[in-house]
Amino acid sequence: MGIHTQPARLLPGSLIAALLALGAAGPALGDDDDHNDEYDDYHEHGERHVGRWVEPGEDVRPVSNAAYAEECGACHMAYQPGLLPGAAWQRIMAPDALMDHYGDDASLSDDVRRELAGYLTTHGAELSRKSRARAFGVGDSGSGTLPRITATRYFRNEHHEIPSRMVEGNPDVGSFSNCNACHQGAGDGVYNEHRVRIPGYGRWDD
Ligand code: HEC
Ligand code: HEC
């Protein structure tokens, strides 16, 4: 996927159009080379509005609901809706479930709860056009108790090589639920492995 290493602004318009057409047809999931550092530098310069070209920089759509960002970002990062399928969000957003939310009380008024549940279920993983988000919707997300992003098959596949001393044993991380402790772009929906810095350990090279 060498063509993705060229910043779009250096290319003539007709070539950009051709590359966009290629990119739209190309595979993304599981292809480690579809993200790279030059690409990320480009992304970080904030030039995100040239259509499909920059889309692969985001693995899930950033949070776009202010009430959600505030209410569900109070104790941990506001997880993007594309990190779980709608059915899982529905279980998490049930009144009883919010009262006993992974050991915390995250209750909301019924109005707010309904609004946020609607936002989450209409932006769930299975509805995303982004392949990494869709991967979070495959298989179950933890059985029995509340669903977890960290219990999805895709999450476990991507993180099983990381030793627990870097996570539970790491005071600056604590648990895999703290995506943004390691993924520098987590708040923007960018999770690719080239933007990982594990506190106390630095870049992840595998
Ligand atoms: C009062 C604090 C608090 C609030 C408010 C809160 N959460 Fe949580 N949430 C937690 C805790 C604690 C955990 C468990 C973290 C862990 O296991 O390390 C958690 C875990 C989660 C997980 C599972 C993460 C994983 O491990 O995969 C999801 C999903 C989640 N919260 C969604 C939400 C949503 C949606 C809202 C808003 C309705 C919300 N949270 C509001 C405290 C809170
Ligand atoms: C302890 C640090 C750490 C935490 C916390 C963490 N990750 Fe990761 N994540 C990594 C590392 C390291 C990789 C790359 C693994 C590899 O390539 O072997 C990765 C890979 C990924 C990938 C695949 C990226 C790619 O380029 O294919 C996704 C998606 C992802 N993480 C999402 C999440 C989400 C969502 C959360 C929170 C629920 C999270 N991660 C929490 C360290 C972390």
Predicted confidence (pLDDT) per residue in 60-114, tens digit: 999 999 999 999 999 999 999 999 999 999 999 999 999 999 999 999 999 999 9
Say how many Å lie between the CA of residue 109 and the centre of ligand 2: 33
Looking at the predicted structure, is the pLDDT value of residue 47 above 90? no
pLDDT in the model for residue 159: 97
Q: Is the separation of the CB atoms in 204 and 196 below 8 Å? A: yes
Task: Report which ligand 1 atom has the smallest distance to the Cα of 113.
Answer: 38
Residue nearest to atom 35 of ligand 2 (CA): 179
Residue recorded with tokens 């990190």: 83
Residue nearest to atom 25 of ligand 2 (CA): 192
Task: Report which ligand 2 atom has the smallest distance to the Cα of 176.
Answer: 5
Looking at the predicted structure, is the pLDDT value of residue 6 above 80? no
Alpha-carbon distances, residue 27 vs 1, 22, 39, 56, 159 (angstroms): 10, 10, 17, 11, 22
Does the CB atom of residue 77 touch ligand 2 within 6 A? no
**pLDDT band with cut points at 50, 70 and 90 for residue 56:** very low
For 108-141, the DSSP string reads --HHHHHHHHHHHHTT-GGG-SSHHHHHTTSS-S
What six digits make up the tokens of 69? Answer: 């960002």
78 sits in the region (left: phi over 0; alpha: psi -120 to 50; else beta) called beta
In whole angstroms, what is the distance from residue 119 CA to residue 86 CA? 10
Residue of higher predicted confidence among 8 and 154: 154
Does the CB atom of residue 178 touch ligand 2 within 6 A? yes
Task: Report which ligand 1 atom has the smallest distance to the Cα of 177.
Answer: 26
Q: Which residues line ligand 1 (CB under 6 A)?
A: 71-72, 74-76, 79, 92, 101-104, 106, 116, 148-150, 175, 177
Does the CB atom of residue 205 touch ligand 2 within 6 A? no
pLDDT in the model for residue 204: 81
In whole angstroms, what is the distance from residue 78 CA to residue 84 CA? 13
Task: Report which ligand 1 atom has the smallest distance to the Cα of 105.
Answer: 1
pLDDT in the model for residue 103: 95
Q: Which of 146, 158, 165, 170 to mutate to test the pocket of ligand 2 (most atoms within 8 A of CB)?
A: 158
Q: Which residues have a Cβ under 8 Å from the Cβ of 204 and sit 6 or more positions away?
A: 162, 182, 193, 196, 197, 198
The dihedral built from the CA positions of residue 107, 67, 112 and 149, taken in this order, carries a sign that is negative
**pLDDT (tens digit per residue) in 130-178:** 889 999 988 777 666 899 999 999 999 999 999 999 999 999 999 999 9
Q: Which of 58, 179, 192 to mutate to test the pocket of ligand 2 (most atoms within 8 A of CB)?
A: 179
What six digits make up the tokens of 169? Answer: 């044993």
Residue recorded with tokens 């059985």: 143
Q: Is the separation of the CB atoms in 182 and 199 below 8 Å? A: yes
pLDDT in the model for residue 144: 64
